[in-house]
Structures are given as structure tokens and as C-alpha cells.
Chain A
Amino acid sequence: MKRILKAVATSVGGWFEARLRLKPAVMPILEHPIPAGAAGPKGWWYVFGSASMTLLFLQIATGIGLALVYVPSADQAYQSLEYLNYRQPFGWFLRSLHYWSGSGMVVMVVIHMTQVFLHGAYKYPRELTWIFGVLLLLLTLGMAFTGQVLRWDADAYWGVGVGASMAGRVPVAGPGIVELLIGGPTIGASTLSRFFALHVFIIPGLLITLVGGHLWLVLSRGISEPPVPGEPVDPKTYDAKYHEELKKGKPFLGDAMTKDAFFSALVVLVVVTLAAVIGPKGPGGLPDPTLTAANPRPDWPFLWLFGLLSLSPAGLETFVMLAFPVVLVICLLLVPFVSNRGERAPSRRPVAVLIVLVGGTTLAVLTYEGMTSPWSPKMGAWSGDTIPTAIVKRATPLELQGAAAFQNKDCRNCHALDGVGGRRGPDLSTVGTRLTRDQLIDQINNGTPGGGNMPAYGKHVRPAEMDAMVAFLMSLRPPGQPPAKVALVPAPTAAP
């Protein structure tokens, strides 16, 4: 049976080959030699680029599928997503695959870049390959952002709003850029069309073109050999050395391609599993600016930026929005020019390792901050987060009234009790051990001195409410601990 199939395949294949004559063009590409080291166990370092490309193909396939149903108009996009989610057979799975494969693509591109950076593979003669790679990273992030906008929900709406406001701060050209980006001075009917065109035509066009260029460079200059400590790159001698190395090289079609295929299959399997188990993202709340309960968050690739912007001092805002990303991209583009020679092995490049460690930690911490966003008040906490029952059980009638006033005055939106509630201000579970009665009254009445974090609530609190709330707050102490007499922390002072 197997033999018959093989015979049929050979004869059909032969028929086409006799007419197309592809072999002379394709075989040299597939069989081009790669350094012997890259074909061995170290070859596993080289699989991330092809996995990124595999996910790009998956994105194109699922994206075309979604475009058959999705309606890129402000008034129907949300409904068409709901249609995909709940009515179109497998529509939810298509959305889910597209989301998880897109997320996977960002992950793979970042891992690929990190590997190339750590192994010094961007050094002579592969500077241009690196530059194309940086541009591909930007385009991938561009796809992630515009894709988030096409998921036309509250996150998308406010995401465009934030993006446009940032663009609007560009000196002189700002309003023009906003007009171009969202099709008018405010988010409107043509905004979604603009982002649809960006996501479906413009960015993918550039992406595919640059991937072509990137691949051409990989083929023409060859992939880098695994770094060996003590064998620095010298542009004068590198080409000859590499040429010698290729003489001992192995064809790409073989071990290397098998590794690529295996890893890509594994990545796709993970994507499929995530898509099936966790499902598609959103659409979340309606994209309606009159819904004030919206709590928009960017998708995960941008949470670090969200965290950075939120934590930056107001004076630095414009710099962090406009100059910082440009500086970051210029730094990335300059990498192969700053160091295009010398050692490639990470063990001989402590600065490179340090950059990756510090950069990775910074991104992770900022992403965590963006995810938890403790600076945002939790607007529904006052009526939704309960007072811990242990506190209620031991409270006096006055303290109970104080607790009710505490909720009613929205204190809970910024202050947590037992970790539940807003996190903009400190958790007040043990405030009775820290602040005296006078200090509590002062803090509530006048807020943080010098226009600090906490507003002054004196005008919004009646004397009886103040009495009750302060009694309640003073009662917030671990059992057996006396109330604060002299504060353990100094009274807040004005910010410098």
C-alpha cells in the first residue's frame, strides 16, 4: 500500500516537476550548508525564528478566516465578534487561535531577539539582518496593537483614545497625526476602518516584505555559527573563516530543518491547547464612552508601557510617551554598530548578559505593575467589597456606623481592608496602631498635605460621620494591640 502511494506521489510530482522545473531553484536553498555546530545539539538555539514565522503563517490563515465574518464598522464590529463567539461554528476557536498565536508570535520574536543578542549573532556581517529584525519586532507589536483595536470593546476604545492622545502630544504634527490615525479629531466611524486597513493590509504587507528580506539575508550571509569563547569576530578575517567553516558544514535540509519543524509543531500545539482551554479574549465591555464603570487595560504586550506611563512623574510624561520609545528603538538599531566585532560568547560578554537580565526584570516588574495597577481606584469597592466579618463582629454600634460611613464615602475605593479594596492608598486593616485620633481626623479633613495623594474630605464629612469613622478606624487593630498614642510613623510631611 505504502509502495503504491509512493509510486503515485513520485509520478504525479514528476509530472509537475517536468513542467515547473522548481528543483534547481528550491533545492539549493533547502540544501544550503550551515555551520556544523548549528546542526548539532546547539542547533536548538536556532529554532525561535522559524517558530515566529510559523505563527505568522497561522496568523495569516486564521486572520483570513476571521475577515470573512468580521465587520470593520464601529456600529457592527462588536456584534460580529459576538456572532463569531457564540453562533458561527468554530468561530470562537478561530478567534482564540488568532489571539493565542499572535501572543505566541510576540513571545517568539522576543525570545529570538534575545538569543541573537546573547549569542552576538548580530555582529559582522549580519548587522542588516538585525535591523530587519528590529523592524519586524515593531511591526509585530503594531499588529498586536491594531489587533486589540479591532476587538472593538471598551479596552479597544480607550486604547485608541490613549494612543491618539499620546500621538497628539507630538510637537506641531500632533493634530495631523491624530487626524490621520483615527480619521478625525475624535474616535468615530472611520477610526475602525483606519485600524482595519492597518491591521489587514498595511502592516502585514510590510511584515511579509521584511520577512522576505530577513530570510534573504539569512540565506545570503548564512546563519551564525554557535559562539565559542575566545574566538572573536574580526570583520577583516571573518568571511574567510566562515567560508572555511561551511566546507565542513551540514545541509539545512536534515537535522536543522527537523529541529525547526519539531519546535514549530510544539509551539503550534501549545497555541492550540491554550486556544481550546482558555478560549478567545473578549470582547469585553461595550465600546461606549458613557459607561463610566469601564476599567480598560491594554493587552499584555503593552502592560509594561501602561505601568511605566502610570508610574512616571507628571513632568516626565511627554518624554516617556514620545522620546523614550524612539530612544529605545534607536538603541536597538544601534546595537550592531556599537559592537560589530569581538567576542560573541555570552560568558565573555557580561554587559550583554546584564542588559538582558536588567531589561527582562524591568519589563516583568512593569508588566506586573500594569496588570495589578494599584494606582487605579477600584470604583465599585465602596458598594461591592464587604467589611471583613471579623471586624463587624467585634464592632460597637458607633464603629458599625463608622464602617458604613467609610463605605458610603468611597474610602474603600482607594483603601483596602484585609487586602480587599482599592490599593491607591494604604491598607487600613491596622491603621489604629499607626495613627492617633487627632492624626486620623487631620488626615481625613485635610488629606495629604501639599496636594498629595489623598484629597481633603473635610467638606464632605459631617461631624457625626467623622466621629464614627475615626472610632471605626481606631478599632482597626490586631487583637490585644493598644491604639496608637504617639504615632509610630511620623505625620506626613509635604512632598518636596
Chain B
Amino acid sequence: MTTQVLNRIPAFLIAFTLLASGCNPPGKPTPPQTSGRPEAVTDFNVLYAAHCAGCHGTDGTLGPAPPLNDPLFLKIVPDTELVRVVTEGRAGTSMAAFDQKKGGPLTTAQVKVLAEGLKTKWGKPGGPTDVPGYLLTPGGNVEDGAMMFAMACASCHGDKGQGGKSGELRVGAINDPAFLALSSNQVLRRFIITGRPDLGMPNFTEKTNRPHNFSTLTAKDVADLTSLLNSWRSPATK
């Protein structure tokens, strides 16, 4: 019995080796897509996972930083602005500069892959029309902003932005000086327009949790609201 088994071992080994090498066994390595240098990586998903996901979330939502997987945001943000912000970051906020020329870890080509890839990956046609522009506009009236705040925002954020409740959801203060110091007027304007769909904040036209007489915010309303929020900043950061 033992000798029979032993006699078969060589044949079994040879058969196994042939089988293992002949087809494609799981151990056979596949060539890497790049030469191994980090600056040679040009795959959007790889770059996003390594450099953006930490703040903007794995799939571009539910990170502490503004969601990038937001079709409305991607619809209105200019391409040049995306490239600029990834390149040099946003001063005063937690958005870091990512281009090597600005002290970041990525090459200009990689920054381009990221900035352009956002719209390819998450941009969607359709959505609301007559959306106010993304970039900050001069002007804006604080008093008008306060009136608009009472109608469009206060139901969740409280009369003076001190926070409140939206259903079961706790809504934190947005008049907090530290919060405002770390938020650019640009990002405030963006949230007024796009909301934070991943966290349940409605955009400029949605009626969720808003009074019946709420009507879609106009470009002037958005500018007024931004001015109001800016007026809440402590003097040093205005």
C-alpha cells in the first residue's frame, strides 16, 4: 500500500507542476500598470484613493470635506478652478496644495488627472436649471441676506445660525467663529447652492424641511446669504 502511494509521488509531482505552470495559476504575477515610481501613476482611482479619500470620502461623499461626488457641484464649478484648487490648495482652510511646485506630493500631470477626472467620474447631465454661478460674486447685502436666512435656512440652522434640529438630526452651529475661520466664502457659497446632499442639507432649490413659501434661491439671494455668513466672522478673519 505504502509503496504504491510512494511510487505515484513522482508522477503526481510532475503532473502537478505541469498543471500549475501550464495554465495561469493564481501566483503568476501580472505586469504592473506603471513603472513603480509614484509620479508615474496616472490612474484617477488610484490617485484619488491615496490623496483625496482621506478628507473627501471613499466615493466622494461623507467625508469631513465638501463632497466631490456631487453632480450639481460638478455642473457649476469651472474646470480651471478645480485645477487651481488641487494645485495650490485653499489658503486658510484644510485644503492642502497638491502640486509639487507648491510643496505637494503630485506632479502637474497628476493634478490634471485628478481635477479632470472628477467630472468624468461623477459628473451627470441634467439636474436643476438656472443654477447660480459657482464663483464668488462681488456685492451682496447683509440685511437682505438675513431676511433670506430666516426663510431658507433658519428652520434647521436656527435664527442666528446657532444650530438646531432637523427632524432627528442635530444641526450644528454655523455662526461659530472657528467654523467660519476655517471656511472660505467660496465654500459657504457652494454649500448654499449645492447643499450637502450626503448629509441631508438641501440645495438652492429643494424644499425639504423648508417653509411652504420658500422659493428657489436666485443669484442675488446666494450672494446676500454669503455676505450674511461673512458678517458673522470674527473681525480678524473677515
Contacts and interface: CB of A to CB of B under 8 A. Distances in A.
A401 B178 contact: yes
Interface stretch (B45-53, B121-129, B219-227): B45-53
A265 B9 contact: yes
Interface in B150-183: 163, 170-174, 176-179, 181-183
B47 to A, nearest CB: 10
A103 B181 CA distance: 57
Interface stretch (B29-37, B73-81, B131-139, B203-211): B29-37
Contacts of B49: 384
Given A400-B64, A404-B55, A407-B94, A280 B27 contact: yes
Contacts of B31: 82, 85-86
Contacts of B199: 392-393
Interface in A108-142: none
A351 B25 CA distance: 46
Which of B6, B52, B64, B179 has the most CB atoms of chain A within a 10 A radius of its CB? B64
A384 B64 CA distance: 13
Interface in B1-25: 2, 6, 9-10, 12-13, 16-17, 20-21, 25
Contact of A262 (B9, B25, B177): B9
B27 A397 contact: no
A380 B17 CA distance: 40
B212 interface: no
Contact of A464 (B50, B52, B237): B237
Interface stretch (A41-49, A285-293, A448-456): A285-293
A272 B16 contact: yes
A389 B35 CA distance: 34
A398 B52 contact: no
A381 interface: yes
A401 B26 contact: no
B179 A397 contact: yes
Contacts of B55: 383, 387, 403-404, 407-408
Interface stretch (A64-72, A90-98, A207-215, A315-323): A90-98
A407 B64 contact: yes
B173 A401 contact: no
B142 interface: no
Contacts of B6: 258, 261-262
Given A92-B29, A265-B9, A291 B21 contact: no
A398 B54 contact: no
Contacts of A468: 178-179, 182
Contacts of B197: none
B64 A404 contact: yes
Which of A93, A386, A462 has the most CB atoms of chain B within a 10 A radius of its CB? A386
A412 B29 CA distance: 33
Contacts of B57: 386, 389, 392
A305 B38 CA distance: 29
B16 A269 contact: yes
B44 to A, nearest CB: 15
Which of A85, A293, A387, A471 has the most CB atoms of chain B within a 10 A radius of its CB? A387
Contact of A412 (B54, B63, B181): B54
Contacts of A82: 31
A483 to B, nearest CB: 15
Contact of A276 (B27, B65, B163, B179): B27
A444 B65 CA distance: 22
B176 to A, nearest CB: 5
A425 interface: no
Interface residues of A, number: 61
Contact of B170 (A386, A396, A402): A396
A394 interface: yes
B94 A277 contact: no
A274 B51 CA distance: 35
**Chain A interface, >50% SS class:** helix
A273 B176 CA distance: 62
Contacts of B94: 401, 404-405, 407-408, 465
B82 interface: no
A145 interface: no
Contacts of A92: 27-29
A399 B20 CA distance: 54
B21 A395 contact: no
B113 interface: no
Given A381-B54, A404-B94, A405-B94, A398 B179 contact: yes
B85 interface: no
A293 B38 contact: yes
Given A86-B31, A268-B13, A272-B16, A404 B170 contact: no
Contacts of B30: 86
B68 to A, nearest CB: 13
Contact of B178 (A85, A387, A393, A398): A398
Contact of B182 (A261, A275, A385, A405): A405
B83 interface: no
A268 B16 CA distance: 11
A273 B31 CA distance: 22
A467 interface: yes
B29 A86 contact: yes
Nearest to A258: B6
Contacts of B147: none
B199 to A, nearest CB: 7
Nearest to B3: A258
A302 to B, nearest CB: 23
B66 to A, nearest CB: 9
B148 interface: no
Given A276-B20, A464-B237, A401 B64 contact: yes
Interface of B: 2, 6, 9-10, 12-13, 16-17, 20-21, 25-31, 35-38, 49-55, 57-58, 62-65, 93-96, 163, 170-174, 176-179, 181-183, 199, 237
Given A288-B37, A396-B172, A398-B179, 20 more contacts: A92-B29, A265-B13, A278-B26, A279-B27, A279-B29, A280-B29, A381-B54, A382-B54, A384-B49, A385-B53, A386-B53, A386-B54, A386-B63, A397-B173, A401-B94, A404-B94, A407-B55, A463-B178, A467-B178, A468-B179
6 contacts: A82-B31, A383-B51, A397-B179, A402-B64, A412-B54, A462-B181
